[in-house]
Structure 1
Amino acid sequence: MDINTHESIDSSLMGEPVAVAEGSSEVRLACTPNMAADASGLVHGGFIFGMADYAAMLAVNHPNVVLAGAESRFLKPSRVGDILIAKADEQEREGRKHIVQVDVSCNGEVVFKGTFTCFVTKEHVLAGA
């Protein structure tokens, strides 16, 4: 399936799409030293959240999809060197509103879970700005 959204994302920071289908996606992210929050190699959660958000956007896969809200839980720490896999699945669709569940795992263990509320706007959010 073609990618119709977020085409300028830096895959080194948000992950590389592995699969995109109607209502689902999978994204792979290699955790690199520039993602470390401290000398121990703990990866800052913002990168993991960003990856999950990107996976949710790809599951909706519309040029005007935006994030309206998210409920998330970090379950385990991630470290530099980890390879993370985000799997997104659309749970509900009501008009322009999409609810997408995203699980991020490392070596088969879930490290992050999130529910993303996405909307497809009538035009790009920056149109006319």
Structure 2
Amino acid sequence: MMVDQRTHEQLSETLVGEPVEIGAETAVVELETTAEMAVDETGLVHGGFVYGAADYAAMLAVNEPTVVLTGSDVTYPNPTRAGETVRATATVTERDPRPSVDVTVEVAGTGDVVFSGTFDCAVPSEHVLS
């Protein structure tokens, strides 16, 4: 079931990926990693780009206009290489008192897990910059 995107509409898909599914309390984002994301000549992708895709998936799973990240607990069990497409799958595991979202990021095609974690969120009544 595809749900309308209600948050993070202006975020760059080049940097954090493209939503491929937004459901009730779930979301999937795919990010095509590039040579520009690599930290060295081996093609090792900086973890911040993978984290960004995971964070984006978490925000879309909550899918509230004012959702923000307040904390996370994450691991990177395997490296990501430039040229790989990664798929971040997020599921809201708790709503009250604040949303908690589990996210797993896998390399598309191989299923190798390159990231897993839990994101803690808040949904303030108005925009955090208001």
TM-score bucket (shorter structure) = over 0.9
- How many pairs align? 126
Structure 1 segment 1-129 matched on structure 2, within 5 A: 1-95=3-97, 97-106=98-107, 107-127=110-130
Q: Give the C-alpha shift of residue 34 in structure 1.
A: 1.0
Q: Which has the higher strand share?
A: 1
Q: Deviations over 1:35-70 (max 9, x none)?
A: 111111100000001110000000000110000000
Q: Which runs of 4+ in 1 moved over 6 A?
A: none
Q: Which amino acid aligns with 2:127?
A: H
- The answer for unaligned runs of 5 or more in structure 1 is none
Q: Give the C-alpha shift of residue 98 in structure 1.
A: 0.3
Partners of 1:114 and 1:20 in 2: CA distance: 19
Partners of 1:51 and 1:102 in 2: CA distance: 10
Partners of 2:113 and 2:35 in 1: CA distance: 21
Partners of 1:22 and 1:65 in 2: CA distance: 15
- The answer for unaligned runs of 5 or more in structure 2 is none
Partners of 1:109 and 1:89 in 2: CA distance: 19
